[in-house]
């Protein structure tokens, strides 16, 4: 069987640039080279598409030196609609080289300009197949405010919240403080449109609210203040397989000394958090979590994949926190761990994503 050509696209303009680059390192290491030809394309922090080295070690996750996409002077010329799908690269000297026809793009981008529907719309316009979320589910899940509305409309429980913009905070800080503290403590303050817990703070005392809002507003002018939910932190991975969406066995985030599952705990192997998959659950709890995960995926018109994060309360209720339409694939990430625990290898998981993109 002839190999198909996959563009692995990573980096990007968001604050999650380095995590996307580290994810690329894992994907480049594990992708089935007998089945796919790979063209690595990086996006610099300034937004330039460049041809990257096919070198997983260059993008290894190192807490002391997170990987970056540097501007090497090359530029990508994407195929135009209606023509062939040849990917062309402009060298620094201006010469242009064809790199063959591409079959599908695997965009492992996190955050704005990559996970919010914009790059998905770009490839829809170019008529180039791509893996992962589509325009609608990507945009919905990137904006936590509208994600919660979509979930509520489907009858899925979410944590109580209020949404404020920077202008609201500037216009009447006392009203915002009073409304927020009425939720009780703890509170979680988070940018509406960021991921990987960037800009998120836990507020355990009302005096901490102002500083938490400034941290969140540094990432986005639209911010959510959420009521804390008491319960076990459960995550389930969803794949859009040929016969419909399927849920993995659930995993659990166990905080031993960390206040919440923050950026360091997620990606840098920070102390104080254990990522466990499979979680210790009853058969009934597992089935309920998987059912809510699939329902949440369908509620946002999910495509490709998602990780659904929720709380299992002491009363047995399931409260969905969020959906991530391009979850991390780093060695300590929950999404691959859950599918590996469900019987897929890391390589098979990547193949599933690529094949789903080719089907769509």
The two structure tokens encoding residue 311: 């709380």
Overall number of domains in the chain: 3
> What pLDDT is attached to residue 16?
87
- Quick one: which of 327, 336, 310, 332 has its CA closest to 233? 310
Residue at 66 is within a domain? yes
Among 209, 227, 245, where does a domain finish?
227
DSSP state of 315: T
pLDDT band at 194 (very low <50, low <70, confident <90, very high): confident
Same domain, 108 and 235: no
The answer for residues whose C-beta is within 8 angstroms of residue 189's C-beta and 6 or more apart is: 200, 201, 203, 209, 212, 213, 215, 216, 223, 224, 225, 226
DSSP state of 244: E
Among 190, 211, 227, where does a domain finish?
227
Cβ–Cβ < 8 Å for 118, 136: no
The whole-angstrom separation of Cα 107 and Cα 71 is: 19
Residue at 236 is within a domain? yes
pLDDT per residue as tens digits for the range 270-312: 557 888 999 999 999 999 999 999 999 999 999 999 999 999 9
**pTM score over 0.85:** yes
DSSP state of 263: H
Here the CATH number for the domain that contains residue 165 is 3.30.1490.20
Residue at 319 is within a domain? yes
Spatial strand order in the sheet of 222-227: 161-165, 222-227, 187-191, 201-203
- Residue 213 pLDDT greater than 70, yes or no: yes
Q: Is 190 left (phi over 0), alpha (psi -120 to 50) or beta?
A: beta
Here the CATH number for the domain that contains residue 122 is 3.40.50.20
How many secondary structure helices (H) and strands (E) does the chain include? Answer: 11, 17
Residue at 75 is within a domain? yes
> What pLDDT is attached to residue 108?
95
149 φ/ψ angles, rounded to the nearest 5 degrees? -65, -45
Residue at 135 is within a domain? no
The two structure tokens encoding residue 198: 């960037």
The whole-angstrom separation of Cα 137 and Cα 223 is: 20
Write out the residue range of the structural domain in which residue 183 sits.
Answer: 161-227
The whole-angstrom separation of Cα 148 and Cα 322 is: 8
pLDDT per residue as tens digits for the range 148-157: 999 999 999 9
Among 211, 227, 243, where does a domain finish?
227
Same domain, 154 and 271: yes
């Amino acid at each position: 069987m002839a190999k198909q050509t996959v563009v692995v696209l990573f980096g990007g303009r968001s604050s999650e640039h380095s995590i996307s680059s580290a994810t690329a390192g894992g994907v480049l290491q594990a992708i089935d080279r007998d089945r796919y030809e790979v063209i690595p394309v990086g996006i610099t922090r300034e937004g330039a598409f460049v041809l990257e080295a096919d070198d997983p070690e260059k993008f290894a996750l190192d807490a002391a030196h997170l990987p970056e996409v540097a501007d090497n002077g090359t530029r990508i010329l994407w195929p135009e609609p209606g023509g062939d799908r040849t990917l062309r690269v402009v060298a620094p000297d201006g010469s242009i080289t064809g790199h063959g026809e591409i079959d599908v793009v695997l965009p492992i981008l996190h955050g704005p300009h990559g996970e919010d529907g914009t790059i998905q719309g770009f490839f829809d316009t170019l008529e180039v197949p791509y893996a992962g979320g589509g325009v609608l589910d990507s945009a919905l899940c990137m904006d936590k405010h509208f994600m919660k509305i979509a979930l509520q409309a489907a009858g899925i429980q979410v944590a109580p919240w209020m949404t404020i913009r920077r202008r609201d905070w500037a216009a009447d800080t006392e009203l915002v403080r009073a409304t927020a503290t009425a939720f009780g403590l703890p509170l979680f303050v988070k940018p509406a449109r960021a991921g990987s817990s960037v800009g998120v703070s836990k507020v355990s005392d009302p005096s901490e609210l102002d500083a938490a809002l400034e941290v969140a507003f540094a990432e986005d002018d639209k911010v959510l203040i959420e009521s804390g939910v008491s319960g076990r932190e459960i995550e389930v991975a969803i794949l859009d397989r040929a016969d419909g969406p399927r849920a993995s066995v659930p995993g659990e985030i166990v905080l031993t000394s960390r206040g919440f599952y923050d950026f360091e705990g997620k990606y840098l192997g920070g102390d104080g958090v254990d990522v466990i998959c499979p979680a210790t659950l009853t058969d009934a709890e597992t089935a309920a979590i998987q059912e809510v995960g699939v329902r949440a995926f369908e509620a946002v018109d999910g495509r490709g994949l998602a990780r659904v994060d929720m709380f299992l309360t002491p009363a047995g209720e399931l409260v969905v926190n969020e959906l991530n339409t391009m979850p991390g694939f780093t060695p300590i990430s929950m999404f691959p761990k859950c599918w590996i625990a469900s019987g897929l290898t890391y390589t098979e998981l990547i193949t599933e994503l690529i094949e789903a993109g080719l089907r769509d």
